[in-house]
């Protein structure tokens, strides 16, 4: 057998999308774990998975698994990923990678100690149109990049008990939606040299809207917007001195983009041709890294995921959002 044997931890909607794309790519999905046998069995039957485990502990102990995809809510990522690493499994954990930087650093240390891959499932970075965008930038077509803007806005449930609005579940627009544009500008421009964030909080204390203005090396600017209470165009733009890239709706999924000169001349138009949602590309990248023995992402190194969690921490500090237990931890 070639390739890794995959296990999926949790059975929610994002897990189903990932399982479907693993099947699309022909990867070896062999096990799923849930908090109940009934849920595990139903998921296993849906995706023709041979092993269905009634607990996460049983899943990570399965000797037929090499790598585990963690798809629980943000506050559980650290505990679940740590459990898998302790049992000798490689890990790809949903974004946001953890709840905060301290948790991300702990996973980074543990994976290094055990010589295992741990990586963030920021699937957008691995999509073909994003690969092409990086090539265009590297070729110098845009000239000097002066600004990047991106948004992720959706009209999502306003029920205060919903996961997206509950602080105890890591709720808020930033970690669920804002992670996409924040990670995007970090990818294109690198870590910011200054950060200014504003936000609107709802009755639960979670953030419903967050906007950022950041400066980067060389003075380039970035702006991001995330909202869980209103749906915008969800486009992104990279502006250079020689040309710009306009990424169409919805920029963080397989889509189209154009390279446009200042006079309006279109130098290139790219149309994505992706089967499924496109999550298979991050899985294929993980398989390649393990096969190469590097255990360190190239499109998204673990150190960058740690840095991005630190950036999200700072944005939350500026807008006044903290999660249960964080203040005690800081004290």
What CA–CA distance (Å, rounded) separates 116 from 331? 32
Kindly report, residue by residue over 57-84, the tens digit of the pLDDT. Answer: 999 999 999 999 999 999 999 999 999 9
What CA–CA distance (Å, rounded) separates 188 from 196? 18
- pLDDT, residue 34, reads 98
Low-confidence stretches of the chain (pLDDT < 70) are 1-2, 327-331
Burial code (b: 16+ CB inside 10 Å, e: under 16) for 276-310 equals bbbbbbbbbbbbebbeeeebbbebbebebbbbbbb
Architecture of domain 128-273+310-330: 2-Layer Sandwich (3.30)
The DSSP bridge pattern shows strands 118-121 and 28-33 to be unpaired
Measured from the Cβ of residue 264, the count of other Cβ atoms closer than 10 Å reads 6
Task: Return residue ranges of the chain for CATH 3.30.360.10.
Answer: 128-273+310-330
For residues 178 and 321, the answer to whether their CB atoms sit within 8 Å is: no
Spatial CA neighbour of 317 closest among 197, 172, 216: 197
Task: Return residue ranges of the chain for CATH 3.40.50.720.
Answer: 5-124
The DSSP bridge pattern shows strands 118-121 and 90-94 to be parallel
| DSSP state, residue 53 | E
- pLDDT, residue 329, reads 47
- pLDDT, residue 327, reads 61
- pLDDT, residue 295, reads 87
- Does 3.40.50.720 match the CATH number of domain 5-124? yes
Most distant CA pair in the chain, distance: 61
């Amino acid at each position: 057998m070639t390739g890794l044997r995959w296990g999926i931890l949790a059975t929610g909607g994002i897990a189903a999308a990932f399982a479907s794309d693993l099947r699309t790519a022909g990867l070896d999905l062999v096990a799923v774990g849930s908090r109940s046998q009934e849920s595990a069995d139903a998921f296993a039957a849906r995706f023709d998975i041979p092993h269905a485990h009634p607990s996460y502990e049983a899943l990570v102990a399965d000797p037929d698994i090499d790598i585990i995809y963690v798809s629980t809510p943000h506050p559980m990522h650290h505990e679940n990923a740590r459990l898998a690493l302790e049992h000798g499994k490689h890990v790809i954990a949903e974004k946001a990678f953890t709840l905060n930087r301290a948790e991300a650093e702990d996973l980074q240390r543990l994976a290094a100690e055990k010589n295992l891959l741990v990586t963030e499932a920021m699937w957008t970075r691995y999509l073909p149109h994003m690969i092409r965008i990086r090539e265009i930038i590297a070729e110098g077509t845009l000239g000097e990049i002066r600004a990047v803007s991106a948004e992720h806005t959706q009209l999502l449930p306003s029920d205060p008990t919903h996961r997206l609005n509950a602080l105890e579940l890591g709720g808020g627009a930033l970690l669920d939606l804002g992670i996409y544009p924040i990670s995007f500008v970090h990818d294109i421009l690198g870590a910011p040299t200054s950060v200014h964030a504003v936000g609107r909080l709802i009755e639960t204390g979670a953030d419903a809207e967050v906007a950022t203005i950041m400066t980067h090396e060389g003075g380039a600017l970035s702006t991001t917007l995330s909202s869980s209470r209103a749906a915008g165009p969800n486009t992104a733009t990279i502006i250079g001195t020689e040309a710009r890239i306009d990424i169409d709706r919805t920029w963080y999924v397989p889509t189209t983009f154009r390279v446009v000169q200042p006079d309006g001349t279109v130098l290139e138009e790219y149309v994505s041709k992706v089967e499924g949602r496109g999550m298979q590309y991050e899985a294929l990248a993980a398989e390649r890294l393990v096969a190469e023995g590097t255990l360190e992402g190239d499109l998204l190194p673990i150190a960058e995921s740690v840095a991005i969690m630190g950036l999200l921490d700072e944005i939350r500090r500026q807008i006044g959002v903290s999660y249960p237990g964080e203040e005690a931890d800081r004290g």
